[in-house]
A and B are shown apart, each in its own frame.
Chain A
Amino acid sequence: MKPLRTWLASAAFAATASFFSPSLANAACAIEGSGEVNVITNFFPTLELLAAKMKECAKPGLKVEVKLTTEMKTEIPRAFEAASSPFDGAAVANSSIVQLQSKGQLMPLNDLVAKYKDTYKIEDQMLIRFGDDIMAVAFMANAQILYYRKDILEKHGIAVPTTYDELLAACEKLKGDPEVDHCFSAAYGNSWELGNEFIDIFVAMGGQLADPQTSQATFNGPEGVATLELMAKLAGYMSPNALAIDFGGVKQEMQQGRTAMAFLWGDIAASMDNPEESKVVDKVGLAVAPKAKADGAISTLFWWDGYVIPKNLDGDPDLTFQVMMEAIKAETVTENNDITLWLRSNYKPTKYADAIVKSVEAGAPPFPMTPQVDLAILALGENIGDAIAGKESAQQSLDDAAKAYTRAATDAGYLK
């Protein structure tokens, strides 16, 4: 915990909210060299800012193109397994890196990191290591936290729930309060998000998703059933439409004041106090995720986003690396402190990062980085909705998910 303390001590907590205002002035990207750099990334505001920063490096003889696309989940693997990838770099996260890394498609960045460590002040805490190989340079973190309405909980004299049992009890008390439509909201509508919600709770229950030695599915055991039954109970306090409402819908329900508590990503906390988006300014409190068991861990997992370079790039890795590092240099963090949860040490956490800091202190682990888990998340997301809807038992749904997982893992060659 020592580094965290020092870091907290050095960081002045910004008390007021300030909103997304990318500052593009102060460009000064001075990269030597010529050629073409093509980067593919997901599309959300932070990555958009970083894309703009990369493009500032363009000059006569140096072409920089960034493709921001929500289809990156298909496009990156396809490009990286081709004979030659049209993309020289990509932004990935916990679950997307493992499929690329396990197929041996990523270039170890050790030499480049060593060469440019001082130029771009690359910090050790930004490096993603598989064994000795540095496979990615990360820039931001994220984790899900509990959003709650301070005013409503206060009105009913309810303390902020620290376990899911407390949350269920609180919801029972809130029944009939005309101020809220539904007590709780979580993103059960989208397959990937639903699988992710399951894994958050399941890991906190002490479950193991797949056997570490054989890769066989183990999520359909007693912890899995307990997790899914808990999710079904939670769904009882959510909108009847819950299985069709994705993250965006949950966020809107919270911002429109229709729900008392919601489980949402930490990086959008400031938007609750943005009067242009939200009707509940200053009314939303943030807390660490509830525990799945009274004596257990909090039900959340840490994610990072970072840049990788494929082995089969058709451009110059050195140039690509420089362009990407230029975008995430320390100045970018200083100028845009509040737009996300930066990993660099010069990031000054605002009050919106409080619950995230507490989650680290509570020992929340990173999202498990194995390709098996990446397959499990989808198998779960596609199948467990049936149990939550009451169409079949939790065990039956989990067995269906295990079957889907086994099939996918066999096709991928992880299971013999």
Chain B
Amino acid sequence: MRTGTFLGFVAPSVLSMLLLIAVPLVGVVYLALYQSHVKTEMVEVRTKVPLFGGLSRDQVSYVPQAVLDEDGRPIRVWDYVGMQNLAKASEIDELGRILTKPRDEASLPDMIDSMYRDITNLDFWSAFEFTMIYVVATTPLMLAVGFLLALAVNRATEQLKGSLIFVSLLPMIVTPVVSSLAVYWLFLDNAIVATVLRELGLGRIYFLKDAVTIRILIIAYGVWYAAPFAFIILYAGLQTVPKESLEAARVDGATRWQAIRLVTIPHLMPLFAVVVLIHLMDAYRVFEPILVFNSRVFASSLQYLVYIAMSFEDNIHRAAAYAVLTVIGIVILLTPVLISTWREQRSTP
């Protein structure tokens, strides 16, 4: 295909992405390099506030107050700070200090343990830690569940297939705002899951009480949520596996498993790659379960940091710095996939 034709085909799609994603992305990088705030000075202010029942209370306190320009508008200060926001957000200085700090633990494992604990006490690195755990744990699991489901549904009777497909899709089609809450409710103190397990004689289980249980729960939610996606893509792919090749393999004496391994899986390889790629990105942005399960003491995530900086601290520069770090992280994470795409693109005859 000629470049001119290519450009014509991709133009509308590229234009929409440029305008609504690329331009904001540049804006985000810009924000990450700057620091701004409304210029304030400390002023003694008397506030008069109603309590209740007709009573009010006066309070005098030093409060930052905006410095106004001649039009009565607050003055906003913009400072170029370069890498400072990124360094602060990634807590690189602290990390250096922790790594070089002399440690008096007796054995090497103890030393590593205490160092690890210091590192994961930092906001960014603890978020990074769980994000990575989540990515690494959910990817193979959701791929396995999705693939097995695709194989299983493919074997079901024709009448059942439709119903099977749509029930399987449920975890994916319901908005995470709702589904994460629906799952959270099941695992509360006296909720259905804890109660059923207690009735079965397993004792009282508190699913949200420590790092291990809450992390397992979040990962399980992640697999539950992502597996249908793998399933539907792989199921569609399965329909394109040439029957002749499968039959030929079986005739040649291959076992069922060998046929899957030698014919089906290689055929689905590109789809596996897409599924993994998309999942890596989504898993890297894990957010809803962190927020809904109220788990921040035991499990945080990078996207959660962006959200906190943005929605609660109201600090766009910090949020932008986290976002830039997130994007850099994504690029690093995806490098292997990118290299294989590069080869694929080159080798296509």
The answer to whether the Cβ of A246 comes within 8 Å of any Cβ in the partner chain is yes
- Contact residues in A for B39 (Cβ distance below 8 Å): 413
Please list the residues of chain B having a beta carbon within 8 angstroms of any beta carbon in chain A. Answer: 35, 37-40, 42, 45-57, 59, 61-66, 68, 72-74, 77, 88, 121, 123, 188-190, 206-210, 214, 293-298, 308, 310-315, 317-318
Majority DSSP secondary structure for residues of A touching B: mixed
Q: Contact: B294 with A190, CB < 8 Å?
A: yes
Q: Which of A26-34, A44-52, A100-108, A274-282 contacts B (4 or more CB under 8 A)?
A: A100-108
Given contacts A212-B61, A215-B64, contact A74 B311 (CB under 8 A): yes
The answer to whether the Cβ of A159 comes within 8 Å of any Cβ in the partner chain is no
- Contact residues in A for B294 (Cβ distance below 8 Å): 189-190, 243-246
Taken together as a complex, chains A and B put the C-alpha atoms of A370 and B49 apart, in Å, by: 13
Q: Contact: A8 with B53, CB < 8 Å?
A: yes
- Contact residues in B for A411 (Cβ distance below 8 Å): 35, 37, 313, 315, 317-318
Taken together as a complex, chains A and B put the C-alpha atoms of A414 and B48 apart, in Å, by: 22
Interface string of A315-339 (1 = CB under 8 A from B): 0000000000000000000000000
- Contact residues in B for A60 (Cβ distance below 8 Å): none
Given contacts A215-B42, A369-B59, A414-B40, contact A392 B121 (CB under 8 A): yes
Q: Which of A111-119, A124-132, A199-207, A220-228 contacts B (4 or more CB under 8 A)?
A: A124-132
Q: Contact: A413 with B296, CB < 8 Å?
A: no
Given contacts A349-B53, A357-B53, A411-B317, contact A239 B308 (CB under 8 A): no
Could you tell me which residues of chain A, from 249 to 277, have a CB within 8 Å of some CB in chain B? 249, 253, 256, 258
The answer to whether the Cβ of A366 comes within 8 Å of any Cβ in the partner chain is yes
Taken together as a complex, chains A and B put the C-alpha atoms of A1 and B49 apart, in Å, by: 15
Taken together as a complex, chains A and B put the C-alpha atoms of A269 and B8 apart, in Å, by: 65
* Residue from A71, A129, A359 having most chain B Cβ neighbours under 10 A: A129
Question: How close is A299's CB to chain B, nearest CB, in angstroms?
Answer: 16
- Contact residues in A for B68 (Cβ distance below 8 Å): 104
Checking B38, B42, B48, B56 against A213 with a beta-carbon cut-off of 8 angstroms, the contacting residue is B42
Q: Contact: B46 with A104, CB < 8 Å?
A: no
Majority DSSP secondary structure for residues of B touching A: mixed
Checking A189, A256, A341, A369 against B49 with a beta-carbon cut-off of 8 angstroms, the contacting residue is A369
- Contact residues in A for B49 (Cβ distance below 8 Å): 94, 128-129, 302, 304, 366, 369
Checking A4, A241, A349 against B208 with a beta-carbon cut-off of 8 angstroms, the contacting residue is A241
Q: Contact: B47 with A413, CB < 8 Å?
A: no
- Contact residues in A for B314 (Cβ distance below 8 Å): 74, 77, 99
- Contact residues in B for A349 (Cβ distance below 8 Å): 53
Q: Contact: A245 with B189, CB < 8 Å?
A: yes
Given contacts A102-B66, A212-B62, contact A4 B207 (CB under 8 A): no
- Contact residues in A for B53 (Cβ distance below 8 Å): 3-4, 7-8, 349, 357, 360
Nearest B residue to A193, CB-CB: B294
Q: Contact: B313 with A378, CB < 8 Å?
A: yes
- Contact residues in A for B313 (Cβ distance below 8 Å): 375, 378, 408, 411
- Contact residues in B for A249 (Cβ distance below 8 Å): 188-189
Q: Contact: A127 with B48, CB < 8 Å?
A: yes
* Residue from A8, A372, A411 having most chain B Cβ neighbours under 10 A: A411
Q: Contact: A241 with B40, CB < 8 Å?
A: no
Question: How close is B240's CB to chain A, nearest CB, in angstroms?
Answer: 43
